[in-house]
Structure 1
C-alpha cells in the first residue's frame, strides 16, 4: 500500500505542476489502488491522474459558466 501511495505521489509531482495538480493526486491514488488489484498499479495511477484532472477541469468550467450566467 505504501508503494502505491509513493508511486502516485511521484507521478503527481513528475507529470504536473502545482497549478495543474488539481484532481490528479486524488485520481492517481484511487487509480493506483484499483490498478494494484488488477495487477497494473502504475498504469492505474497514471490513468487515474488523467481522469481526475479532466473531471476537476470539467467542474471548474461548469462553476465558471454558472457564475457568468448569474451576473
Structure 2
C-alpha cells in the first residue's frame, strides 16, 4: 500500500480523503487477532460472572445503607 498524502484543511490540521481512510481502517482490521469461539465463550462467561458479583455487592450495600438510613432517621 502506498503512503497517503494528507490534505491540509482550512484550520491547519492534516486530513486524508475518505477512500484512504477506509483503506487504512481495513488494513488495521486485518492485523487484529480475533478470538476463537472457545475464547469468546470463556470471556463472555467471565464477564457475566463479574457483572453478577458486582451487582450483588452494590445491591447489598444499597440495602444496608437504606436500612441504616431508616434506622437513624425513622
Structure having the larger proportion of residues in strand: 2
Tell me, yes or no, whether TM beats 0.5: no
Q: Pick 1 or 2: higher relative contact order, CA cutoff 8 A, min separation 6.
A: 1
Q: TM-score range by the shorter chain?
A: 0.3 to 0.5
More helix by share: 1
The structure that has the greater radius of gyration is 2
Question: What's the TM-score once normalised by structure 1's chain length?
Answer: 0.44
